[in-house]
Structure 1
Amino acid sequence: MSGCPAPYPAGRRPLTLGAPVHPPRTPAETETALADELRTVRPDLLSPYAAELPGARSAVLTRLWRGLALEPLPWVTRREAGHDGPTLRLADGRRLHGPRPDAYATASTVTEVELDGTAYDHPAALMTALGLPHGRPFATELADSVASLALSRANQASFGGPSEAPRTLWEWEQRVVDGHPFHPNCRARPGFSVAEQLAYAPEHRPVVRLGLVAVREDDCRSTGEWPYREAGRLLIPVHPWQARHVLKDEKPVGDGMSAHPLMSLRTLAVPDGSHVKTALSARLTSSVRDISVYSITSAATVSAFMESMAGRLDGLLHITRTLGAVTAGTADLAAVARESPELCAGTGEQVVPVAALAASVLPQSPRWLAEFSRLALTVGLRLLDLGVALEAHGQNLLVVLSPAGDPVRLVYRDLADIRISPARLARHGIPAPDLTGRIVTDDESVLRSKLFGSLVAGTLAATAGSTPALRTALSTAVRDLPRTPDLAALLEEPLPAKALTLMRLSPERPGDLWARLPSPFADPLVLKRGAFAP
């Protein structure tokens, strides 16, 4: 058995897995609909888009199969090894078979997965055939992810390719074309037309015009020094998609400001040099994005606390300071202003988002990967020991490179999802900040999963690109690190990683769900007598 929880809650009748569930559009209809829009707004992209579709289907199917094969899915009752890959026995008796997955690979490709002998080369078609609870909206998102990914790839030829290194941070951010390296919804943008994707998505390299909505200062809640104001009113930058689809009654004032979208799409680099995180109530990858009142009211406290914690790390970490945060009493009309990570670059240095490393022209030798891994683990583990778990995925974590291209220190931004342990802080004589809510926890499992799942299973795995490369880099990196209980857990236990597919199929279970992946420190996985267990 896989060691998964019981397939269904006690007293609840199982849903039939085999009944086909049809999304509003078939995968072919989704791809054709995008082509029809392209014919109107960018006919020059029709041929490149069609050429990119097979690769996009495979890229999304690869991510989906990784989740199906490795995550603790309640409707998978057994995983059996085979010479050509595992077979998953489903609760209704069917069998799902595909290639052997590398939990940490980013370059591998899966071209088809078999369900009871029928081969599927499209992830949305496979999800539809599985007929799972909550599978219908997920299949729709998978089809959207494929079509949008093909569009993103198709539009790169007009930029001349990655022949030279970007000059600014926002140019680095816009090099991330394929999105999340492990999420099946890596490019899903439901609710965005083709014209809107081309106008707002960072990989299409647009300039976005942010509107400014004026709200009486007395009607707002804010922290820090909000930089945009006039005559007793606060000016809240609003993304044009949000203005059109959500804030239909709010009228922007003035001319707004031009901005370059960063890889998160809703955060943009603005002319004064800062970065503005806008409310954008759309589903991107896992969840509907907004800015909660909780994160607004705690922003200044968290920022000041994390600046003080970074000061304990001998200059190895810089925190992008929150300048101000404001909400008009709703998550749909709110914004956060942060300083740019570029401020911590010295002469000749450059700041690169870690997610952009794979798309860069910079050399990434085994020695470089080991040095970067040592730097990242040193910072992450020291902070964890002190009492802070970073969510150090490739979007939040940036690396400062020397003029020679060596990793010298880290930058961390967007503090909304860190975790703070008062008990650990107290052991080191550090006063806990005046905070409550989800950001505060002493649960060892939560703290380690937050850091290890984002930094090791996410950032370092994606940068390395495969289990052998990750194992080599980590084995070198940990040699001189202090042997703390946290490092022992990292070395000796399965590696936590967000169960991204399970989370999309479990809308009734809010929050993070976790898979336990084979330790990258272990020898290559030996499959014994047909028992395959993630």
Structure 2
Amino acid sequence: MPTPPTTPAPPDGHTADPARTRADLHKHRPDLVTAYDAALPAARAAILSRLLNALHHEPIPGVTHRAHHVELSDGRTLTAPAAATLPFATPQPGLTAHLTDSDRSRDEAHDDPAALLRALDLGPHTERLAREIDNSVANLALAYADPPPTRAAQERRNAEGDPDGLGRLEQRVLDGHPLHPCTRTRGGMTVADVLAYAPEHRPVIRLRRLAVPPARWYGDTPPVLYAHPWQAGRLIDRYPWLTDAGQTEPVRPLMSLRTVAPLSGADHVKTAVDIQMTSAVRTVSPAAVRNGPRLSALLETLTADLPLTVLRETAAGAVLIDGRPQRHLAYLRRQAPRITATETVLPLGALPLLLPRLATDPYAWWHDLVHRLLPPLLTVLDRGVALEAHGQNTLLVLDGDRPARIVYRDLGGVRVSARRLRAHGVEAPPIEGDLPSDDPDVLRTKLTAAVLGTVTAQLVAVLARAGADPARLWASAAAAIRGTATDDAARLLSDPLPVKATTAMRLADDPLDDLWTTHDNPMAGA
């Protein structure tokens, strides 16, 4: 049986819009209906702001001019409060954009981002994206309606030295991707599924172990597929020769939903789920199954003298169909981070929850962070591997309240330069898929779009809202980069900052092809 397409249309009725979500809550969680209604305006504003930012900065079809407003090729004009169009904005509920005809005879007010997108009509894939945005709004409102019961600062203190602390902290993140309007899309899941499995609802689940006939197994592990419970029943129905071999110990879904952390602190497991989240259906490619151990060994060599821990991918496997490993029937296992009794580990994407309380002296704290984060990443880039150091993949270890060290996980999105490796006396291992590249622009973009254009820029925005001077923060980041003295450093300090154009990608014929936009570099001249 052929592998499902990478971006399948979700089953009818499974990707709920706000109205369908509300109706389903009456059946599954009637206690949340009132809170959901109250949360919808904030969720609409958060997603609308992300969409407006994309319209002002990304290569969107039909957009011909961007200044204080957006002009469309048919003469219409879109206006909105300027602050709401900026990256990482924090708009108030009720945010509204106005779409005006060329002769100003008609002015439409839109506070619903999906309705605005449909009115804009930006090409043949407008409706696809509008459905995804509807679902993102619904799931974000559901997250806002069901917040964690304790303060993030107290949770962080409780997580010191606790192997389950990382999972608990990751499950506190409600907003997801800070720039993507599909930040909470869960294509293919029902509302009941979201409540049962999405990390922002703080579930503890168990994976299913599915025994695979040995002749159908690919990998160097016993022929057992570790399957997400959402996926497992569908797989058994489709492939009756898979047999249930019991459940795992209790695990917490992390920020990515399909990657789970055992409460005991044992290795994490990345599963395959035929669910679209943000820009892709989250399966495990055959290349990832093969590359993980090879890249782990390579990065262990490259980082041996650096204050950067790359979590090894220690095991992986996939089921063979017609002799080929299948991405929807695969998993991999990854080391869990290790911390001491006084340390806490959390993803950089969770840091905005804690940052104003941690950084009582924002400039000293920020200096410690950027000097621990940026130099080792740039050194690894110079040596031949561009890590995709975004807020979900990159972890900060705090000792008390101070940044102590950086941990990196997930090798699926890196880029590997055989030429740079050879220049440092290292032979590149066999790497499959789209990971190999010797193009310096490709390598720099992979790293900087994540760690500078998104992570650093978001954290600067958070500290600036708390009163810090963003120019001073960026100058500190520039000093950390300048101190590496690599060939890439000068370009990072002068080139515009790249950011993935996620909305333009969702409107493209092939939504998986990377598209990029750029922002002014606040470190230029610093």
In which range does the TM-score fall when normalised by the shorter chain? Answer: 0.7 to 0.9
Q: 1:391-406 alignment to 2 at 5 Å?
A: 391-403=388-400, 405-406=401-402
- The residue number in structure 2 matching 1:429 is 425
**Cα 1:436–1:254 shift into 2, 3 Å:** closer
- The residue number in structure 1 matching 2:478 is 478
Give the distance between the partners of 1:69 and 1:55, measured in 2 at CA.
Answer: 21
Question: 1:339 deviation in Å?
Answer: 1.0
- The residue number in structure 2 matching 1:508 is 510
- The residue number in structure 2 matching 1:340 is 336
**Cα 1:394–1:247 shift into 2, 3 Å:** farther
- The residue number in structure 2 matching 1:359 is 353
Between stretches 467-476 and 68-77, larger displacement belongs to 467-476
* Alignment equivalent of 2:82, drawn from 73, 86, 100: 100
- The residue number in structure 2 matching 1:121 is 111
> What's the TM-score, normalizing by structure 1?
0.85
Q: Any idea what SS the aligned residue of 1:318 has? A: strand
Give the distance between the partners of 1:312 and 1:434, measured in 2 at CA.
Answer: 24
Between stretches 474-483 and 513-522, larger displacement belongs to 474-483
Question: 1:93 deviation in Å?
Answer: 1.8
Give the distance between the partners of 1:368 and 1:87, measured in 2 at CA.
Answer: 37
- The residue number in structure 2 matching 1:243 is 232
Question: 1:218 deviation in Å?
Answer: 3.5
Say if 2:379 and 2:486, in contact at 8 Å, map to a contact too.
no
**Cα 1:401–1:443 shift into 2, 3 Å:** same
Q: Any idea what SS the aligned residue of 1:165 has? A: helix
- The residue number in structure 1 matching 2:41 is 54
- The residue number in structure 2 matching 1:210 is 207
Between stretches 354-363 and 51-60, larger displacement belongs to 354-363
Say if 2:186 and 2:276, in contact at 8 Å, map to a contact too.
yes
Question: 1:189 deviation in Å?
Answer: 1.0
Are 2:344 and 1:350 equivalent residues in the alignment? yes
Question: 1:183 deviation in Å?
Answer: 0.7
- The residue number in structure 1 matching 2:162 is none
Say if 1:106 and 1:182, in contact at 8 Å, map to a contact too.
no
Question: 1:89 deviation in Å?
Answer: 1.6
Question: 1:309 deviation in Å?
Answer: 1.1
Say if 2:251 and 2:261, in contact at 8 Å, map to a contact too.
yes
% identical equivalent positions: 38
* Alignment equivalent of 1:307, drawn from 283, 291, 300: 300
Say if 2:211 and 2:224, in contact at 8 Å, map to a contact too.
yes
Gaps (5+ residues) in structure 2?
Answer: 1-11, 101-106, 160-164, 320-324
For residues 440-464 of structure 1, what are the alpha-carbon distances to aligned partners after superposition, in whole Å with 9 as ceiling and x for unaligned? Answer: 1011111111010000111112222
Gaps (5+ residues) in structure 1?
Answer: 1-23, 81-85, 525-534
In structure 1, what residue type is equivalent to 2:190?
S
- The residue number in structure 1 matching 2:126 is 135
**Cα 1:37–1:510 shift into 2, 3 Å:** closer
Say if 1:461 and 1:467, in contact at 8 Å, map to a contact too.
no
For residues 94-139 of structure 1, what are the alpha-carbon distances to aligned partners after superposition, in whole Å with 9 as ceiling and x for unaligned? Answer: 1122232564434345811111132211100001101122010110
Give the distance between the partners of 2:258 and 2:420, measured in 1 at CA.
Answer: 34
Give the distance between the partners of 1:411 and 1:106, measured in 2 at CA.
Answer: 28
Say if 2:494 and 2:525, in contact at 8 Å, map to a contact too.
no
CA RMSD of aligned residues (A): 2.3
**Cα 1:303–1:266 shift into 2, 3 Å:** same
Q: Any idea what SS the aligned residue of 2:173 has? A: coil
Q: How many residues align?
A: 480
Give the distance between the partners of 2:378 and 2:86, measured in 1 at CA.
Answer: 23
- The residue number in structure 1 matching 2:21 is 34
Give the distance between the partners of 2:154 and 2:434, measured in 1 at CA.
Answer: 42
**Cα 1:155–1:369 shift into 2, 3 Å:** same
> What's the TM-score, normalizing by structure 2?
0.86
Question: 1:50 deviation in Å?
Answer: 0.7
Q: 1:72-221 alignment to 2 at 5 Å?
A: 72-80=59-67, 86-100=68-82, 103-109=86-92, 111-116=95-100, 117-133=107-123, 134-156=125-147, 159-162=149-152, 164-166=154-156, 167=159, 168-221=165-218
In structure 2, what residue type is equivalent to 1:391?
E
**Cα 1:475–1:64 shift into 2, 3 Å:** same
